[in-house]
Chains A and B, each alone.
Chain A
Amino acid sequence: MSPTAIEFKGITKRFGDFYANRSVSFSVERGSIHAVVGENGAGKSTLMKILYGLYRPDAGDLVINGEKRRIASPAHAIELGIGMVHQHFMLVEPLTVVENIMLGDEPVKNRVLIDRQKTVVRLFELSEKFGLSISPYETVGSLSVGLQQRVEILKLLYRDATILILDEPTAVLTPIETEQLFKTLKSLAKVGNTILIITHKLDEVLRLADRVSVMRQGELIDTLPAASATKETLARLMVGRDVLLHVEKNDARPNDEILSIKNITYTDAKGVKRLDGLSLSVRAGEIYGIAGVEGNGQSELLKLLWGMPEEGATVSGSVAFSETPILGKTPREIAALGVSHVPEDRLKYAVINSFSISDNIIFGRHYERDFLSAVGFNLKKLWAFCAEMLSLFDVRSAKGVSPNERIGNLSGGNQQKVVTARELTRPNLKLLILAQPTRGVDIGAIEFIHRKVIDARDKNIAVLLISAELGEIISLADRIGCIYKGAIRKEFSQTEVAKRRETPNEFEKQLGQFIT
């Protein structure tokens, strides 16, 4: 077998007149971990979708294991041993883990009956071998994102994939989960599997990858060994200019308390305690960061703050916004108080995929006077607002971003920018609730969004930041609460945070201890 697992040869992909990929050529060695980096919209996902048979290239060839192939469909790709974990998971949430894993490839006994047991056995073998433990009979919808991703990976291994494509797998993971994933990927590569990984996190590239390819505006800029790269060089290659990796900020000058959460307990419909006596407060003009591993009550806290507790959940305690109790209020009433919210799962909660960009940029704000006319929308104002936001937040897409374009056609990071733009610019904003605000966003844009969040804080807005990214928490937050099993286990005051920020790596480790 040839030592090259994949060779991209002059791959070109157009959407209309727009080149998402323009003669991209590079090769990936078997048994290696190969990273692909680039700005939002650089064409990374598109290239991977071509390899996975979801798109057909307009020009160029794919050589898989030394043979030229035309990959017609994902089914064909899987046959060739190529599997992909998408930026947005492709799981059937109401089904169990086993059912998801065997879906499309169900083992059968006596000709007709599904042999679930067989899958379970295979599943255990695989999880043992690669350290991917999971409980087979849980429904996927009830799993944390990290575990859902594990299911995706197991699904590929179950299908004997030897080339694994992962599109921003760590965007949704905590440091510990990331660590586990990397261990898994390394052990997979060691036994001869080939890993292609897209990520925006340059540390990860340096830590994990053997080689890295950099893309910019559809073109391949360079492929280099990770060992010879640094964050700065990669950033420069990606963006074409020097990037500030940490935004600077001055000390917060907090004022009155805006959000006060007292002794909240949240028991879900199944009787599981998700929040257990959680208390915290956020003041105007400060950023309160909640650090924590996903699944320790962050989602429930967010739902509660936005007036959307699940059906059947019981809640006690109090949540007040400038002394107005908000438990039991609807999202609309809460928004009207001057609260804004970037939810954690953009696709699920924050955008309507088949709506246009302009329809999405007012989604949830569409009842604001400014956007309405006597009977419908004031299209002129709406478009002006949209155009302003798109340029202010540097949203990029094919055809030079028209407000008319479906938001689903934007790259992941650019969708996030649209949501952030919408939520950061609400009129009368007093409290900003941000969950994973830079998930899937490129480093240039992270710099930009962080800047905007700090600006908001300096305008005396209270910010509650929930992020799985400890680095993000450390560089943005003025106070930090570590959430663990539904309560704030440890809180760092403003002076403590200011002091510890000087040694971010150590601080990260310290935080790590309080969240596990």
Chain B
Amino acid sequence: MDKNQTRMNTSKYLEASRPILAVLAAFLLGGVLIIAIGKNPVEIYGKMFSMTLGTGYGVGQVLFRATPLVLTGLAVALPFKAGLFNIGGEGQAAIGTIVCAAIGAALSPSLSPMLAIPIGLIAAMLGGASWASIIALLKTRFGVSEVITSIMLNFTAYALVGYLITYQFGIEGTMRTVEISHGAFMPRLDALTGLFPRSPVNLSLFLALALATAVYAVVYKTKYGYELRAVGLNLEAARYAGINTNFHVMTSLIAAGALAGLVGANYVMGYKHYYEAGGVNGVGFLGIAVAMLVNSHPLWILASALLFGLLDYGGLTINADVSKEIFLVVQAAVILFVIASQKAFKQME
């Protein structure tokens, strides 16, 4: 029996270390690639880690890049618990950002931050949420698959945002909007604390942290979350249990849209202070990977987003030595290795 106990314990440790091993393996693979292009992987990785995790600025950059990924990761994870696959984070983020930029610009420059910041946040959320509500409506009213509509709406969002920046809210001759009201600037952490000097990481980081915790609590601790998970696990049984399944489909998708929309807060209010075309492209898609990597667990998404933030910024720091594509390969390898290791272990059990 004792032997059994220890075996169980070791297997628990193994389970916990599994993603870490997978990440290491992915880096190893990247190392091989770096050797293949005639560079020294120890040097390159050394440079990358010292420039990301070794400096305040680097850490700030990593955190800044992780922030939107937490949001879009959650935007995938929450509906996923209800059995829905929201691939529309991309579009929801773009619409959230443009609404945030437009409303932010319309605010009076003298408006107090106490008002202007919440207004900007709400604008971003409403933008994303309204975009997601189209998916939700089509799903609940007509049974159209959310996968299809969310993909299509991503392209629509790109086009719409392009149009709005060019013809409505943009500065002529550029591909960006006008600057938002000063009051709506989200304070940067270096301004507040002196940490992470000159990096764009801002208060949105804490917002994302708080939201991840909140989503976790909602999913696992509340009646709403209990019903939501039931809907995801067994729709028919959920109906029998008197659960209004459409309500959960609706609300989880709309909440996901709001989460993705907040990407705009980080980008517009915390960083650029305007929307430059293409500025938030890609975060929605990366969010899918962020969520899938950790089985859509809201708290683990924090770790997953950090990893992707690290890879994202890490790639930039060594851009001069190896092409960014090498790093994209490492990124992809991380996802594949982690997912494959999960499946492999499950089979062994």
> Which residues of A are at the interface with B, using a C-beta cutoff of 8 A?
16-17, 306, 308, 330-332, 335, 341, 343, 348-355, 359, 363-364, 366-367, 372, 375-377
B230 near A355 with CB under 8 A, answer yes
Does B6 touch A at the CB level, under 8 Å?
A: no
In this complex, what residue of A is CB-closest to B238?
Answer: A352
Chain B residues with Cβ under 8 A from A348's Cβ? Answer: 234, 236-237
Within 208-259 of B, Cβ neighbours of A (below 8 Å) are at 221-223, 226-227, 229-230, 233-234, 236-244
A363 near B241 with CB under 8 A, answer yes
Given A366-B226, A377-B223, check contact A350 B233 (CB 8 Å).
no
In whole angstroms, what is the CA distance A359 to B226 when docked?
8
Does B4 touch A at the CB level, under 8 Å?
A: yes
Tell me the smallest distance from the CB of B9 to a CB of chain A, in Å.
13
Instruction: Please provide the 8 A-B residue pairs with the shortest distance between their CB atoms, ordered closest to farther.
Output: A332-B242, A364-B241, A331-B242, A376-B221, A349-B240, A376-B222, A352-B233, A352-B234
Does B1 touch A at the CB level, under 8 Å?
A: yes
Chain B residues with Cβ under 8 A from A372's Cβ? Answer: 223
Chain A residues with Cβ under 8 A from B4's Cβ? Answer: 16-17
In whole angstroms, what is the CA distance A359 to B241 when docked?
12
In whole angstroms, what is the CA distance A377 to B220 when docked?
10
Chain B residues with Cβ under 8 A from A354's Cβ? Answer: 233
In whole angstroms, what is the CA distance A54 to B23 when docked?
32
A349 near B237 with CB under 8 A, answer yes
B226 near A306 with CB under 8 A, answer no
B240 near A367 with CB under 8 A, answer no
In whole angstroms, what is the CA distance A355 to B228 when docked?
12
Given A17-B4, A352-B234, A355-B233, check contact A364 B222 (CB 8 Å).
no
Given A359-B226, A372-B223, A376-B222, check contact A308 B233 (CB 8 Å).
no
In whole angstroms, what is the CA distance A79 to B221 when docked?
47
Chain B residues with Cβ under 8 A from A16's Cβ? Answer: 4, 8
Given A351-B237, A353-B234, check contact A364 B242 (CB 8 Å).
yes
Chain B residues with Cβ under 8 A from A335's Cβ? Answer: 242
In whole angstroms, what is the CA distance A102 to B336 when docked?
33
In whole angstroms, what is the CA distance A341 to B239 when docked?
13
A350 near B242 with CB under 8 A, answer no
Tell me the smallest distance from the CB of B248 to a CB of chain A, in Å.
13
> Which residues of B are at the interface with A, using a C-beta cutoff of 8 A?
1, 4, 8, 221-223, 226-227, 229-230, 233-234, 236-244
Tell me the smallest distance from the CB of A326 to a CB of chain B, in Å.
13
In this complex, what residue of A is CB-closest to B241?
Answer: A364
**Apart from A349-B236, A364-B241, A366-B223, what 15 extra A-B contacts exist at CB < 8 Å?**
A16-B8, A17-B4, A331-B239, A332-B242, A349-B237, A349-B240, A351-B237, A352-B238, A353-B234, A355-B233, A366-B241, A372-B223, A376-B221, A377-B223, A377-B226
Chain A residues with Cβ under 8 A from B242's Cβ? Answer: 330-332, 335, 364, 367
Most chain A CB within a 10 A radius of its CB, from B229, B230, B240 = B240
In whole angstroms, what is the CA distance A306 to B236 when docked?
13
In whole angstroms, what is the CA distance A376 to B241 when docked?
18
Tell me the smallest distance from the CB of B238 to a CB of chain A, in Å.
8
B233 near A375 with CB under 8 A, answer no
In whole angstroms, what is the CA distance A348 to B237 when docked?
6
B240 near A364 with CB under 8 A, answer yes
Most chain B CB within a 10 A radius of its CB, from A348, A349, A372 = A349
B233 near A363 with CB under 8 A, answer no
Chain B residues with Cβ under 8 A from A341's Cβ? Answer: 240
In whole angstroms, what is the CA distance A138 to B346 when docked?
35
A352 near B230 with CB under 8 A, answer yes
B237 near A350 with CB under 8 A, answer yes
Tell me the smallest distance from the CB of B258 to a CB of chain A, in Å.
20
In whole angstroms, what is the CA distance A366 to B240 when docked?
13
Chain B residues with Cβ under 8 A from A330's Cβ? Answer: 242, 244
Chain B residues with Cβ under 8 A from A343's Cβ? Answer: 240
In whole angstroms, what is the CA distance A267 to B325 when docked?
60
A366 near B227 with CB under 8 A, answer yes
In whole angstroms, what is the CA distance A257 to B233 when docked?
38
In whole angstroms, what is the CA distance A366 to B237 when docked?
13
B223 near A350 with CB under 8 A, answer no
In whole angstroms, what is the CA distance A349 to B241 when docked?
8
